Structure 1
Amino acid sequence: MFNAEIGYARQQRQSAENGRKELNLNGQRSWKVDEASDAEGIDIPGRCVFAQNDAYLELCNPGWDMQWRTTLGTLIVVPFASLIIWMWYGFAVHPLVFNRLIMFWRSFPFDIGEGDGVVLWAGWLVGFPLAAGVTFLLYGWFFGMGARTNYFTYARGRVRFNRLTRKVYVLRPSYCGGNKVFDWDRLVALPSRVPNGHAMASEIIGSLALYQAPLKPDGSDEDAIYVGPSLTLDPAAQALRLWEYIRLYMQEGPTLDKIPANAPAHYRKIPRYVSHAYGTYCGLPSMSQYQLEQGPDFTRVLMHMVSQMTCSWARFPKEWHSDSGLGEPEDRPVQTGAVMTALVYRAQGRLSKEDEIEFLEHYGTAEALAEAQVRQTR
């Protein structure tokens, strides 16, 4: 879930130059917050909006749609590696300590005089290298490839752009840089994770990165944020259109209620009410909610639920005042423009009648609004 973040954090800990290479900082043009990019228009690629209102725009980090693959890989790697290590222990270590051999779940008396010494030698000469190899495999899977970011941590990253405070508030695990507040005006956008013409460019999943250059002499404030969903179809162009959406939101704010249906491709206005088609649930979703957003693939849903069972939902510290008094999407989905969350709450009967009316006025059909108004008068 935080593969991009842990990759950058690991490289950054090695050296600032490695961190910049991870971002492809010098291999592309960066875009400042006060300059229009050359994106054709603005766009929200996929379901990545937790909430949008006049005070803040909150987006997810990349990796949510790929999390199930990591869990599937974990369910293959961990049992295989565990079996190899267990067999090495049963043939090579347990006989020396307890004078018994273990084969799978059964144990047998160990007698070196009866030829069992061959098994012991095999355990050390063959089993030990195999056990060492799969131990390295486990370390590489969880730490090198970032699989550990899918378990026992935040279920999702949250990136909140507050146009009133001109700050960007980020929630992420401590080993990925930790929770942090950024100054909007110091950030620059990096739309491409790989240099142009790179041999693996089509194989690498893209994402929008926002880079903060260091100001402190020791460079400790140099950092990067990964924003929005994973991008696979012309990632650099998608990332640039997303950046332009974020930039216009922060610089100008919402200027109309909804984007016209016949808006041209180069349209550059931020709507006040974002369709649920761009929204994502703010919280730990149920199986049905995850299916709604990611598709009705049973394997994908099941693997995701296995990962999510170990995770917790991240909340912004109250002392940050990152909501500017408007409230949190989990608590006030209608008022904060958390459309997908409001839809789920309405289906579960968790919206008050007043909130349901307000929600349908902005996001519902005329028929649904009329029915809700009739129910309210009863």
Structure 2
Amino acid sequence: MLTPQRPESDISMFNAEDGYSRARRSSATKAHRELNLDAQPQYRIDEPCGVPGFYLPPRSAYAQNNTYLELCNPGWDMQWRAGIGNVFVVLPALFVIWCWYGFAVHPVLFGRIIIFFMVGENVPIEAIWFGWLLLFPLAVGSLFLLYGWFYGMGMRTSFFTFARGRVRFNRITRKVYVLRPAYCGGNKIFEWDNLVALMRRVPDDHPMASKIIGSLVLYQPPTDPGDWLSEDAIFAGPSLYLGELQAAPMWEYIRLYMEEGPTIDAVPQNPPDDFRQIPRFLPERYFTYCGMPSAWQYGLEQRPGMMETTFHMMSQVTCTWPRFPPEWESDSGMGEPEDRPVQTGAVMTALVYRAQGRMSKQDEVAFLTHWGTEEALAEAMKRPD
């Protein structure tokens, strides 16, 4: 059976993870091709990739502190396309199937015909023939279209699943904790020392190379030689529209964080190109909300139009927010960004909680000391306990 090919750019939440997991279950060759593994360098954790400084994309971090750096996965900014696609794919396909049922199946079962949404008592034999000879092939084609849309193109990864992926780099345990749906490999803990970084999702000579949205991939080679099913990959950080030009300095940020940790309170104004010290207090623009976003929160971060927000919310309303298992939470020693946004350095989450009046005076003062203005801090200190 032929199905539409998976889109090259990640237009649903776990499109990249789903595509790789399906390829890995098929064969090592397909899995390696999915990652462009054999046509690019593989950078070890102790191997700089040649860029002078580092880069962290805006709206990519859930939290950063002295223990862990937690990042999103790619696809969230494109997810609204999955929602709008349903209007032009799912609704017409379901309408055709409904018409076939009303003309061909319902009359046989109940002796009545359904024309659109009206039920008729008289059932012309011509209508039943019309339902089976014309509408039945169209209904079968619609079923294949739905299968191709949700499975072949990976749109199922935007509905009835995790709202977003979470990738946590823990400096203390030297492990990487990943939350993702079961069909994308499931929640998993990776050994930091076993990972290598890949910068290019596709070969340079790929016919669509200039149009494919990239992402940073951390690849885990087989734990046993020849056991290709033990391979795995982490898609860390947001969609990267400049591909390797953004992936390489982003990898340097993650690598330096894990190997050296924060060494300076804040990045100075106009730093040199080769500046390589991880700040303890990242500005707000680098953070994304850790939780189920409202339409307001989504608009605050992505600045979309009304159409993009509407269709994104249509997708997100079917999803749930992934939380780390209790036995994993204790590995951080810091708590969770959803529960302790100030202590864990979850700046966007703290901003939202403050705006909603959910922050204690002590937390608000601590937060504004590092991320607020002097006026806001003075006002918070006057606040009654």
TM-score normalised over the length of structure 1 = 0.94
Cα distance, 1:118 vs. partner? 3.4
Alignment of structure 1 residues 230-269 onto 2, 5 Å: 230-232=239-241, 234-269=242-277
Alpha-carbon contact 2:36-2:200 (below 8 Å) kept? yes
What letter is aligned with 1:97? L
Q: Tell me the distance in 1 between the aligned counterparts of 2:110 and 2:355.
A: 60
What letter is aligned with 2:260? E
Cα distance, 1:192 vs. partner? 1.0
Alignment of structure 1 residues 125-164 onto 2, 5 Å: 125-164=133-172
Q: Partner residue of 1:351?
A: 359
Measured against aligned partners, the alpha-carbon deviations of 1:77-133 in whole angstroms (never above 9, x if no partner) come to 22100111111122222233333332112233456xxxx443333322221221111
Q: Tell me the distance in 2 between the aligned counterparts of 1:195 and 1:290.
A: 33
Residue from 25, 30, 44 that aligns with 2:42 = 30
Q: Which moved further from structure 2: 71-80 or 154-163?
A: 71-80
Q: Partner residue of 2:30?
A: 18
Alpha-carbon contact 2:177-2:189 (below 8 Å) kept? yes
CA RMSD of aligned residues (A): 1.6
Q: Tell me the distance in 2 between the aligned counterparts of 1:132 and 1:211.
A: 40
Q: Which moved further from structure 2: 117-126 or 69-78?
A: 117-126
For the residue of structure 2 that corresponds to 1:281, the secondary structure is coil
Alpha-carbon contact 1:329-1:341 (below 8 Å) kept? yes
Q: Partner residue of 1:98?
A: 110
For the residue of structure 2 that corresponds to 1:329, the secondary structure is coil
Cα distance, 1:338 vs. partner? 0.4
Q: Partner residue of 1:122?
A: 130
Q: Tell me if 1:279 matches 2:279.
A: no
For the residue of structure 1 that corresponds to 2:309, the secondary structure is helix
Q: Partner residue of 2:380?
A: 372
Q: Tell me the distance in 2 between the aligned counterparts of 1:352 and 1:333.
A: 12
For the residue of structure 1 that corresponds to 2:233, the secondary structure is strand
Q: Partner residue of 2:56?
A: 44
Rate the CA distance shift 1:323–1:334 in 2: closer, same or farther, 3 A: farther
TM-score normalised over the length of structure 2 = 0.93
What letter is aligned with 1:8? Y
What letter is aligned with 2:21? A
Q: Partner residue of 1:167?
A: 175
Measured against aligned partners, the alpha-carbon deviations of 1:267-290 in whole angstroms (never above 9, x if no partner) come to 211111111100000001222111
What letter is aligned with 1:257? D
Q: Partner residue of 2:192?
A: 184
- Identical-residue share of aligned pairs (%): 61
Cα distance, 1:197 vs. partner? 2.2
Alpha-carbon contact 1:193-1:207 (below 8 Å) kept? yes
What letter is aligned with 1:104? F
Alpha-carbon contact 2:329-2:335 (below 8 Å) kept? no
Q: Which moved further from structure 2: 28-37 or 84-93?
A: 84-93
Q: Tell me the distance in 1 between the aligned counterparts of 2:330 and 2:212.
A: 33
Cα distance, 1:62 vs. partner? 0.6
For the residue of structure 2 that corresponds to 1:202, the secondary structure is helix
What letter is aligned with 1:210? L
> Alignment length, in residue pairs?
372
Alignment of structure 1 residues 195-210 onto 2, 5 Å: 195-210=203-218
Q: Tell me the distance in 1 between the aligned counterparts of 2:77 and 2:283.
A: 20
Q: Tell me the distance in 2 between the aligned counterparts of 1:187 and 1:239.
A: 15
For the residue of structure 2 that corresponds to 1:140, the secondary structure is helix
Alpha-carbon contact 1:25-1:190 (below 8 Å) kept? yes
Residue from 49, 54, 69 that aligns with 2:66 = 54
Q: Tell me if 1:2 matches 2:11.
A: no
Q: Partner residue of 1:302?
A: 310
Measured against aligned partners, the alpha-carbon deviations of 1:208-249 in whole angstroms (never above 9, x if no partner) come to 1110001136433210010111111x2111111111100000
For the residue of structure 2 that corresponds to 1:375, the secondary structure is coil
Q: Tell me the distance in 2 between the aligned counterparts of 1:351 and 1:17.
A: 51
Alpha-carbon contact 1:27-1:196 (below 8 Å) kept? no
Q: Tell me the distance in 2 between the aligned counterparts of 1:12 and 1:110.
A: 55
Q: Tell me the distance in 2 between the aligned counterparts of 1:322 and 1:246.
A: 22
Alpha-carbon contact 1:171-1:178 (below 8 Å) kept? yes
* Unaligned stretches of 5+ residues in structure 1: none
Q: Partner residue of 2:6?
A: none
Cα distance, 1:323 vs. partner? 4.6
For the residue of structure 2 that corresponds to 1:102, the secondary structure is strand
For the residue of structure 2 that corresponds to 1:284, the secondary structure is coil
For the residue of structure 1 that corresponds to 2:262, the secondary structure is coil
Q: Tell me if 1:76 matches 2:84.
A: no
Residue from 205, 228, 253 that aligns with 1:219 = 228
What letter is aligned with 2:54? I
For the residue of structure 2 that corresponds to 1:255, the secondary structure is strand
Q: Tell me the distance in 2 between the aligned counterparts of 1:49 and 1:257.
A: 17
Rate the CA distance shift 1:323–1:274 in 2: closer, same or farther, 3 A: farther
Q: Partner residue of 2:348?
A: 340
Q: Which moved further from structure 2: 117-126 or 146-155?
A: 117-126
